[in-house]
C-alpha cells in the first residue's frame, strides 16, 4: 500500500472495478464454454470461404434486383415525362396560368360587359 491515505470513495471505486473485472472474466468463461473452438481439419478454410461467398451471393441477388428496379423506374419516369410534354404541347394550345386560361375561355361570354351576365355565370 502507499503511504497516502485512501478515502472511502477511492476504496469503493477500486472495489467496484474489481467486481466489474470479475464479472467480465466470468462472462468470458461462459462465452468460451458456449462457443467451443472448431475442430481443425483440412476442410476448415474451404468451408469458411464457402459460407462467406454464400452470404455475399445472397446480398448480390438483392443488390442486382434493387439496381434493376431503380433502372426500370428511371426509364419509366423518363418515358412518362416525354409523353406528358408531347401531349401538353399538342392538346393545349394555350400556355399560360390557370387564371389566364379561364379568363380566355370566358371572355366571349363577358363581352359586352354586363353585370347581369356575370351573375348568370355565377349561378351556373
Q: What is the pLDDT of residues 69-87, one digit of tens each?
A: 999 999 999 999 998 887 7
Cα 9 from Cα 13, distance rounded (Å): 6
In this prediction, residues 8-35 reach a mean pLDDT of 86
Model pTM above 0.75 = no
Cα 99 from Cα 5, distance rounded (Å): 88
Cα 118 from Cα 107, distance rounded (Å): 11
- The domain locations on the chain are 6-36, 43-91, 93-124
- pLDDT tier, 36 (very low <50, low <70, confident <90, very high otherwise): confident
Amino acid at each position: 500500500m502507499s503511504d497516502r491515505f485512501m478515502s472511502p470513495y477511492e476504496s469503493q471505486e477500486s472495489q467496484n472495478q474489481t467486481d466489474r473485472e470479475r464479472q467480465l472474466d466470468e462472462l468470458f468463461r461462459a462465452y468460451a464454454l458456449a462457443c467451443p473452438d472448431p475442430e481443425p481439419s483440412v476442410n476448415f478454410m474451404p468451408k469458411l470461404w464457402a459460407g462467406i461467398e454464400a452470404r455475399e451471393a445472397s446480398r448480390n441477388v438483392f443488390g442486382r434486383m434493387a439496381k434493376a428496379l431503380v433502372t426500370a423506374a428511371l426509364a419509366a419516369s423518363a418515358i412518362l415525362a416525354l409523353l406528358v410534354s408531347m401531349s401538353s404541347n399538342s392538346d393545349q394550345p394555350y400556355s399560360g396560368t390557370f387564371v389566364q386560361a379561364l379568363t380566355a375561355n370566358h371572355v366571349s361570354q363577358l363581352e359586352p360587359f354586363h353585370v347581369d351576365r356575370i351573375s348568370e355565370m355565377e349561378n351556373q
